[in-house]
Structure 1
Amino acid sequence: MAMGGGGGGGHVRGRRRARKRPLSEINVTPLVDVMLVLLIIFMISAPLLTVGVPVELPKTDASAIETDNEPITVSIDQAGAIFLDQDEVAYDALIARVTTVASGGRGAATERAVFVRADGRAPYQAVARVMARLSAGGFTKLNLITDTAATDTAG
């Protein structure tokens, strides 16, 4: 009898060892919980990060645009003054002057491309107003000209 009792005790110990074995599967529930919390944090904080970041928009790596005919160039200097080619133009007379230059004795003046060149330090409001005015005047081919120079590490 003593042997039978000893065999039964060893059998119970074997079961306990089988239950205490480490699990080979990873519990992904805590991982998913942490990832969802991080996703929510990044979704809330991402729009706030773009507001305070100083950027210099006029410098890009975009390629040059090729056109068939000579485009009309409207420039905006640092103070917000508007120039048509080399001549200064009042904001109210912009559409009339651009239409006159665009027609050049030919019809379909609004089909010509208009290049808007703005100083990097020009007020954004001035650039937006000029582009909106040109768009409202019927010019659909508006291009904002930027510096295509290679990015410099010193600047």
Structure 2
Amino acid sequence: MALSANDAFAAGGGAKRRRRYGRGRRGALSEINVTPLVDVMLVLLIIFMISAPLLTAGVPVELPKTEAGAMQDVPDPITISIRSDGRLYVGETETPFASLSPRLKEMASDTTRPIYVRADGRASYEVVARVMASLSTSGFTSINLITDTGGPSSGSEGSDATAGEEAAP
């Protein structure tokens, strides 16, 4: 008598089927789904990329615009901000003018550490000059004024001064 392949398995002959004991038909997934993790990480990356430049300047001042080019980033400078009302900030901490020099000397181990002065465009020239003189007499050698780019050109073509003189009769 001839048996078909199905009959041989049904009768218990031939190869035996292996069964998983203790598990149902579908086993538990042991892999992590990485797609939602990648989505969340990309959203966080975009948020940090947008917000990081906004965190560099802590004291809100309206910088004057000049035609000077952008500076290269310097690691760990000291930033002094001068608001339009004349208040001084070292970093984000308000500091009276009398304690500006001692505070900077305790912050900087050497006088070659760069200092950025961010003065509001409406700040008094007297206050800015006093701060610059105080920094200079304290021995600091790398003092930089921070401005916005895109100001009026100082060249003779198209400048406001020459255009006004030519228009007058």
Out of 91, 99, 105, the position equivalent to 2:97 is 91
Give SS of 1:110's match. Answer: coil
Which residue of the partner structure matches residue 148 of structure 1? 149
| TM-score, structure 2 normalization | 0.50
CA-to-partner distance for each residue in 1:103-143, whole Å, 9 max, x for gaps? Answer: 2xxxxx20011000000000000000000000000001111
Out of 57, 64, 79, the position equivalent to 1:73 is 79
Aligned equivalents of 2:140, 2:90: Cα separation in 1: 15
1:100 CA displacement: 1.8
Which residue of the partner structure matches residue 123 of structure 2? 122
Aligned equivalents of 1:119, 1:67: Cα separation in 2: 21
| TM-score, structure 1 normalization | 0.54
Give SS of 1:93's match. Answer: helix
What's the C-alpha RMSD, in Å, of the aligned pairs?
Answer: 1.7
- The count of residues paired between Structure 1 and Structure 2 equals 90
| Bigger helix share | 1
Gaps of 5+ in 1: 1-56, 104-108
1:149 CA displacement: 3.8
Amino acid of the structure 2 residue aligned with 1:63: G
Amino acid of the structure 2 residue aligned with 1:137: S
Amino acid of the structure 2 residue aligned with 1:75: S
Amino acid of the structure 2 residue aligned with 1:72: I
Out of 92, 97, 101, the position equivalent to 2:107 is 101
Aligned equivalents of 2:143, 2:114: Cα separation in 1: 6
Aligned equivalents of 2:95, 2:106: Cα separation in 1: 13
Structure 1 residues 120 and 150: CA distance shift in structure 2, 3 A: closer
Give SS of 1:129's match. Answer: helix
Structure 1 residues 129 and 150: CA distance shift in structure 2, 3 A: closer
Give SS of 1:78's match. Answer: coil
Give SS of 1:92's match. Answer: helix
Identity %: 49
Amino acid of the structure 2 residue aligned with 1:100: E
